[in-house]
Structure 1
Amino acid sequence: MKPTDNFKKRKKEFDYCEKIIQRHSKSFYAAFSQLPKKKAQSIYAIYAFCRMADDIVDEKKDAEQLQELFQQLAAFEAGNVPNEPTWLALEVVFKEFPMDIRPFYDMLVGQRMDLNFQQPQTWQELSEYAYYVAGSVGLMLLPVLSDKTDQIIPHAKRLGEAMQLTNILRDIGEDLYIGRIYLPQKEMQRYNVTMEDLKKQKVTQNFIELWESIAKYAEKLYQKSLNMMPYIKKDARQPLLSAIIIYAELLPEIRRNQYDVFNKRQAVSTRKKLELIRTIEGNVEN
């Protein structure tokens, strides 16, 4: 059976994955739904796998279920595909594209780090964590988006790290509520931001300077990640650029809202996303 026929055969499973990304990541869906259908479906399946792990850790906080997911991944690698929609869709993706299984394991390692959470002490520890939970996802997506993956692995890692740092800066209040602080301790000390300051939900000048130090580093990573565009397949350049621009827009959005990451979850509006997508339509170099 041709690979394309496999996508049709597993339409129900891919539809299941699409609903997951639609519900949980409107930004990624707005960007990657622009891809040709089977590439878009492949991204949805990869996202659904990541979401499965996220839910086990963030909602259920279940170490046993996470270990079961490790075991399912090992079974999948061995050719024993679990009879569940996400795995059945991923089987098609692995047949269609030259996928690498290692980033899938790495992402689960990152989820285990969240389950056994310890606040990072240094930038290096934060960067390592960001690779495992997000840089790994960039590597998962590469074979769908590029024929020259070996040449752009560092760029994909940078993009994943930038997006994770953006998540961290957006979710400071939410993470604090569940007992997680991803801001490195040494950076908090450097900018004289205490745990008590965070618990009081004070947007002080010191807090803004700490936040900006991380945000500006993330913005540099976004810029560096653009160096991979010439190596991305032509039909994937605009969707990937859309994802980068929409996600990066969260940082100026938070600035426009006076850095209030404690009282509401900041988001880029649907209208703004569409505006950003329109700005790059026709301007992506072929």
Structure 2
Amino acid sequence: GSLPMEEVRKWRQEVTAAYQGHPSQPVTISLAAHLQTFDIPESLLQELITGVEMDLTINRFATFADLNQYCYRVASVVGLICLKIFQTQSPAAEDYAVKLGLAFQLTNILRDLKGDAEQNRIYLPLDDLQRFGYSEEALLHQQDSPALVELVKFECERAHTYYQQAQEILQTLPPSDQKSLVVAEIMRGIYSRILKQIEDQHYQVFGPRIRVAPIQRLKIAANIWMRSLFSHRIAPSV
């Protein structure tokens, strides 16, 4: 309704106020102190807010191009902001952040198909559903079928492609940038595990929500962290 949109409008104005030096909310007062330090462009934060607006107004995406734009705003932009904080030097790191954000969001969408369907939200592109012969109604009613398996398999492979592309870009970055991205790589390890669990359960996405156990997360983080400490590069060979 209009109330959430009104809140979004207020936050838009508040972000601008933070850049102009007169924020009024505790979070933006705190944020303002770091915006100049890390040279974070206002356009990135406004783009993120546009992504929130899309969540309030859109519950279907006709094509992957439409979904891609949404993923960029709610996920890749977060990565681009983080690059400023991590202080990477190579322009190619931006491509890495964009690809990885897209992979993360596609993974989230696949993991949350059931919960989103319960709220009348379908994030998978409708033309993909049509291509595999799986209807909106079937998804909303959480109907398992061979068509669903093929659809989810296709979307998992698409997500893998973006993880792979991010990985290939990472390998081209200077060692200093690779070390700066260790947190992003830990997230990649965890989200890749979610994708693998979807595949391991034969693309059955209407069961209990997939979670990576804390001990598994710790092992993934430790492996990547140790690799960053004892190697010039953190990217494993592709």
Q: Give TM-score, length-normalised by structure 1.
A: 0.73
**Structure 2 residue identity aligned to 1:201:** Q
**Structure 1 residue identity aligned to 2:71:** A
Aligned residues: 227
Match of 1:64 in 2: 6
Report the alpha carbon displacement of residue 65 of structure 1 after superposing the two structures with TM: 0.7
Consecutive aligned runs of 4 or more in structure 1 exceeding 4 Å deviation: none
1:156 and 2:156 correspond: no
Counterpart selection for 1:109 from 40, 50, 74? 50
Report the alpha carbon displacement of residue 96 of structure 1 after superposing the two structures with TM: 2.6
Encode CA deviations 1:49-72: one digit per residue, 9 max, x unaligned: xxxxxxxx9xx9711111111111
1:248 and 2:192 correspond: yes
Match of 2:76 in 1: 135
Looking at structure 1, the residues matched to 88 and 223 of structure 2 have their Cα atoms a distance apart, in angstroms, of 27
Distance 1:66 1:186, change over 3 A: same
Match of 1:170 in 2: 111
Counterpart selection for 1:201 from 120, 127, 142? 142
Where structure 2 has 5 or more consecutive residues not aligned to the other structure, the ranges are: 233-238
Distance 1:150 1:81, change over 3 A: farther
- Matched-pair contact (CA < 8 Å) for 1:131–1:157: yes
Counterpart selection for 2:170 from 201, 204, 228? 228
Kindly report which structure 2 residues correspond to 1:36-51, keeping only aligned pairs within 5 A, or say none.
none
1:81 and 2:23 correspond: yes
Structure 2 SS opposite 1:62: helix
Match of 2:123 in 1: 182
The sequence identity of aligned pairs, in percent, is 26
Looking at structure 1, the residues matched to 4 and 90 of structure 2 have their Cα atoms a distance apart, in angstroms, of 34
Where structure 1 has 5 or more consecutive residues not aligned to the other structure, the ranges are: 1-56
1:239 and 2:180 correspond: no
Match of 1:4 in 2: none
Q: Give TM-score, length-normalised by structure 2.
A: 0.86
Structure 2 SS opposite 1:148: coil
